[in-house]
Structure 1
Amino acid sequence: MKPEEDGKKEETGEEVVHLRREIGLLSAVSFIIGTVVGSGIFIAPKGVLMNSGSVGLSLLVWALCGVLSLFGALCYAELGTSFTKSGGHYTYLLETLGPLPAFLRLWVEFLFIRPAVASYVSLAFGRYVVEPFFEPCAAPTALIKLVSILGVTFVVAVNCWSVTMASRTQVTLTFIKMFALVLIIIPGVIALAKGKTENFQNGFEIETLTLDKLPLAFYNGLYAYGGWFYLNFVTEEVINPNRTIPLAIICSMVTVTVFYVLVNVAYYTMMTPAELLRSDAVAVTFANRALQGLSSVIPILVALSCLGALNGGFFGSPRMLFVGAREGHWPPIFSMIHIRRQHLYLLCCSCTPWWC
């Protein structure tokens, strides 16, 4: 292994080992969609409806959350084409506000943000894998944690193997989670076309709206859209980033917004607002109602969706630490790249115990 400086040749003429540009448009789109679409769309509708107060307003909140997320993602597209280094948040703080804010952001990411996110998503994966086998009883917590650890181990192994393997895994998991959303949308659209519109009558009930709860509705909705910034963590590995990053962000966020709104329309077509509010896992309740023969498949698809979000997060976040090590804000050994695989093998392995 040897340190990576700037991806160019040194003054001595010796070529520096650097990360290869292997992420094309399809991989970039899959990376964004696969990270954004996790467990949120399958559980967050309850929080949005509870705090918005009506079906119509909740759908409007979902659409506006998509628009707000698109605006944020477009800002990051501009940053990603202006600063062509990987690292995302860290790099932009370093370039605009200086080393101290960037240093603090790097360590907060490592100590608090990334472990919390990884734990939450991996536990959601374990819960959706295990709970169907124990219904109607509660699943053993130890077994859920064990399956969660196995999921993290799989993601780590894939990311340690190569960028290509991690990218292909992300593309596959993204197609699976989009299939899960289509599986929810189609029965709802068919029922809606047949005239099942009773849950949409009087969709905007102003008397049930409480303004102090509306921010919580947006909070729940925006949670389901989180993750659009991860592509900027791997800018140095994107092929033709000036074209790929903006195009991937626009395609991804528009697709996610349309799918999210249609999924919620499907939920309201097959479930009353009261039924949705009583459900802790809206997608599973929907499947029991509309996909009776395939109801057991939905938890598996949701689990794979969580695994895709975990893979996307684990693929992107070590690049922030890699750039931090290169800038002297992290132990320099973590700026080293595997000579043969040209991959952050050491960094991926070292982060795993802490993030688990």
Structure 2
Amino acid sequence: MSESKQDFQKSLGLLDATMLVVGSMIGSGIFIVSADIARNTGSAGWMMVVWLICGFMTLTAALSYGELSAMFPKAGGQYIYLREAYGPVLSFVFGWTFFAVIQTATIAAVGVAFAKFTAYLFPFMDEDVYLLEWSDYRVSAAQLLAIAVIIVLTYINSRGVNSGKRVQTSITLIKIGSLLLLLLFGFLALKHEVWTWNWDNISLWSMRRLNTDGTYASYDGFSAMGAFSAAMVGALFSSDSWHSSSAVAGEIKNPQRNIGLSLALGTLLVTVIYLLTNLMYTGILPLEAMVNAPKDRVAMSVAQEVFGPFGITIIAIMIMISTFGCNNGIILAGARVYYSMAKDGLFFKRAGKLNAHAVPAWALWIQCVAASIWCLSGKYGDLLDMITCVVVIFYVLAIAGIIRLRITRPDLNRPYKAFGYPFLPILYILMGLAFIGLMVIFKPNYTWPGIIIALLGIPIYYLINPKRRKYEVS
């Protein structure tokens, strides 16, 4: 692999950075997770509140990150922000968790989602078609297709940031156009009786669990908050990776302006699309039909109602495009975090090298290997549930870092200051802490394993850094 000492190339404009944010956020979640949200809340009103709060939190975080990205317009994004605010130990814990589970398992999950929906067009690629069997371990066609897609996207991105951006920008524009067309036809096909049932029901604001048999189960006091936090998991996961453009800061033109602006524009656009999509769902399917959608694929049930039998093919193609573009953005951004870690001596040395195309190719390929292992493990879905809480913990710490840096390093140049400071950052921190606390109480099986994985980063840091070298802030 040819290597060069050249720096990153400033090749990404505002449109490219915004499309990276949008494309990394929109994967398969918006087509699926509304079923579980409806199941946990039992009403159209509370379902929309979940999406509104998720959108508010995501947009608030993006507007807050604008200050950090303007102060530290370097490759690595969140890793850099945590390092500058708290030092190397915490930033390494984030980087370790990011590589071990957050990014690589997400790449695997999105890759398998691509394969699952490809199987609607080509059944021989289904997850139930096993190509290899050994004792109780099986490898499906969907898993191998997911690995193949990850390898192809890694190769494309190893050929230079221009290759990656062309794929990302073009596919994301197609993705946005497809979603807008789905919204248009969906609202045109809106069923008045379904809309009335979902929105005029006297129990619209009664939070209850909606069972698949159509019956309801009431929550007792505090347990309603636990159900609400469980509903938030899917919405937050669907909105994750909103900070992707900050990871490629070294390749963005005028980063002090364009990173923060791309975060704001991208998250706002996705939030609006998500809210409108869920409104459209409530005008096509009764809540009972949503919770009974086969394998929670609400969008497919909606498409069948709107387009007839051909609807499944339309949605399958849309999700294939969506997940392909989503994985491209995640793969592109993730390698820059490992690059920054390597520069600090906290990751494999070769990950800190750029190839002849001015991209961290070795970091891209080791990420590819780790993601492929998760594809073969079959456990990526469980792990993604487990780390949702951890992801929010790191977001809370990064936004709290804004306040910490205002106090400890007031003389730093801040070309952009967090919108609504300190009210909005503090509100996000409080909302994030509430979500984390409720998840720890009500979903311990899905929180403590992720927290333990993250905490393992502390002994690993001292193991690879026995002299406890003190990072000197430049």
TM-score relative to the length of structure 1? 0.90
Deviates more, 1:213-222 or 1:341-350: 341-350
Counterparts in 2 of 1:198-347, with a 5 A limit? 198=196, 199-202=198-201, 205-209=204-208, 210=219, 211=224, 212-279=226-293, 280-292=296-308, 293-339=310-356, 341-347=357-363
What residue identity is the alignment partner of 1:23? L
1:214 Cα deviation from its structure 2 partner: 1.1
The equivalences for 1:63-82 within 5 A come to: 63-82=52-71
Change (3 A) 1:196 1:113: closer
Distance (Å, rounded) in 2 between the aligned partners of 1:50 and 1:202: 16
User: Which residue is equivalent to 1:348?
Assistant: 364
Q: Larger RCO: Structure 1 or Structure 2 (Cα < 8 Å, ≥ 6 residues apart)?
A: 1
Question: Residue 74 of structure 2 contacts residue 249 of structure 2 at CA under 8 Å; is this kept in 1?
Answer: yes
Q: Structure 1 residues 95 and 67 mapped into 2: Cα distance closer, same or farther (>3 Å)? A: same
Counterpart of 2:438 in structure 1 is: none
Checking the alignment, whether the CA contact within 8 Å between 1:131 and 1:138 is kept in structure 2 is: no
Whether contact under 8 Å (2:189, 2:306) holds in the other structure is no
Greater CA deviation, 96-105 or 196-205?
A: 196-205
2:175 equivalent to 1:159: no
Q: Determine if contact 1:43/1:282 at 8 Å carries over to the other structure.
A: yes
Q: Alignment partner of 2:7: what SS?
A: coil
SS of equivalent to 1:228: coil
Q: Which amino acid aligns with 1:146?
A: L
Alignment pair present for 1:89 and 2:106: no
- The question of whether the paired residues in 1 share the 8 Å contact of 2:191 and 2:284 is answered with no
* 2:187 equivalent in structure 1: 189
Distance 1:281 1:40 in 2: 10
Take 2:194 and 2:35, find their aligned partners in 1: how far apart are those partners? Answer: 21
The two structures have a TM-score, normalised by structure 2, of 0.68
For structure 1, list consecutive stretches of 5 or more residues without a partner in the other structure: 5-16
Per the TM alignment, residue 138 of structure 1 is displaced from its structure 2 partner at its CA by 7.1
State the identity %.
26
Q: Distance in 2 between matches of 1:322 and 1:309?
A: 21
1:98 shift after superposition: 1.0
Given that 1:3 and 1:335 are in contact with CA atoms closer than 8 Å, whether structure 2 keeps it comes out as: no
Write out per-residue CA displacement over residues 233-282 of structure 1, whole angstroms, 9 at most, x where no aligned residue: 11111111121112212211111111111111111111111111101211
SS at match of 1:295: helix
Query: Which amino acid is the alignment partner of residue 323 of structure 1?
Result: S
- 1:134-191 deviations in Å (ceiling 9; x for gaps): 49x9741511112112211221121111100100100122122213312321122213
Aligned letter for 2:22? I
Q: CA deviation at 1:2?
A: 5.9
| One-letter amino acid of the counterpart of residue 82, structure 2 | L
Q: Does 1:145 align with 2:143?
A: yes
Output the CA distance in 2 between the equivalents of 1:283 and 1:259: 14
Moved more, 281-290 or 30-39: 281-290
Counterpart in the other structure of 1:57: 46
Query: Whole-Å Cα distance in 2 between the matches of residues 150 and 180 of structure 1?
Result: 25
3-state SS of paired residue (1:291): helix
What secondary structure sits across from 1:296 in the alignment?
helix
Per the alignment, residue 106 of structure 1 pairs with: 95
Write the distance in 1 (CA, Å) between the matches of 2:207 and 2:272: 26
- Say whether the 8 Å CA contact 1:57–1:203 is kept in structure 2: no
Give the secondary structure class of the aligned counterpart of 1:19.
coil
